[in-house]
Amino acid sequence: MKELFDSYRSNYRDVVQSSINFSGLPHSFFMRAKADLLRELIAQRLGPQKPAMLDVGCGVGSFHPLLRGMVSHLTGIDVSPASIAQARADNRDVAYYAFGGSNLPFDAASFDLVTAICVLHHVVPANWPHFMSEMRRVVRPGGLVCVIEHNPLNPLTRLAVARCEFDRDAVLLGASKARKLMASSGLHEIGTRYFLLLPSEAEPARRVDTTLSNVPLGAQYAAFGTA
């Protein structure tokens, strides 16, 4: 996986955009939707204090500018050294680390919020339990672990994945599987929110998206649990 994402570090955004061009929306729209969801989860689960956050599988860090002002300190980690180099060049206020892809190189209870955003489907399924356990290990008691993934029940999501060059070997996991992994790792108060049911920037569509966040048809979902 390191070699795969090293090769896409300079054109990652273009490859993602080409896979979703049929939606008529820019990649930035989908990233903003994730950031909005995270903002709501932070307020609901962690309170008013800005959390120290770890983003596992951060890639080139294209999501991180949207988190400014939302977190107190941001750390990104990825198995692709080339992607980390690009992320450092683009986001000098974020701490970035490359790692081998097994154990996270941080002490237990180091972060308030740990995320993996569209990462697990690139991990070999046999390694999913260890991956989740490592996320659980490095979050503090009372902190939050959040996984955002493609929803395999949505046909347009499957189309986007099929069109994406670096998703050819992806193994999509549904929200129920993500919740089971979280429960097995020791997380509790586990919840799910589906989003991007209506991929439109119009305000009525956004309201519908929020209202129907429990309906398992959104293009993506967030599964989250408390340590």
Question: pLDDT value at position 7?
Answer: 45
Phi, psi of 216 (to 5 degrees): -80, 50
Q: Where are the domains of the chain?
A: 2-226
- Give, in words, the CATH class of 2-226: alpha beta
What is this structure's pTM?
0.88
55-88: pLDDT as tens digits: 999 999 999 999 999 999 999 999 999 999 999 9
Contact 193, 221 (CB under 8 A): yes
Contact 54, 115 (CB under 8 A): yes
Q: Which residues of 138-152 are buried (b: 16+ CB within 10 A; e: fewer)?
A: bbbeebbbbbbbbbb
Token representation of residue 96: 């970035």
pLDDT level of residue 225 (50, 70, 90 thresholds): very high
12-44: pLDDT as tens digits: 555 455 555 555 667 778 889 999 999 999 999
Q: Write the CB contacts of 227 (distance below 8 Å, at least 6 apart in sequence).
A: 136, 139, 140, 141, 142, 143, 144, 145, 186, 187
Higher-pLDDT residue of 1 and 167 is 167
